[in-house]
Amino acid sequence: MTINIDAMKSEAQQTLDELFAEGKIPFKLPVRVVEAIGMEEYIVRFNDSRLYSIDVSCERGQKFDAVFTAAILARVARLRKCSH
């Protein structure tokens, strides 16, 4: 499988922008880089002190944007829970 990291970065940023516009995440997150860290595993790094990075495991047949969305929503939910 060929990995297009630039396309993944763009897809991640678009997803974050949509989640912010929909009020599903409380702050804008700029994607700095997406790195492949293993077989079908990626780390998305942000330019934000509230959330530095998130790991995404994308199994065969899963779409990156769906897995990334679930991962970011789960992480933001944990951040909100810890801040209360």
Element (H or E) spanning 38, and its range? strand 31-38
Per the confidence metrics, is the pTM higher than 0.85?
Answer: yes
Per-residue pLDDT reduced to its tens digit, 18-70: 999 999 999 999 999 999 998 889 999 999 988 999 999 988 888 999 999 99
Place 1 in a pLDDT band, splitting at 50, 70 and 90. very low
Domain boundaries, the chain: 5-82
In this structure, which amino acid lies at residue 56? V
Q: Which of 18, 23, 33 is nearest to 69 (CA)?
A: 18
How far apart are alpha carbons 11 and 53 in whole angstroms? Answer: 16
User: Residue 83 pLDDT > 80, yes or no?
Assistant: no
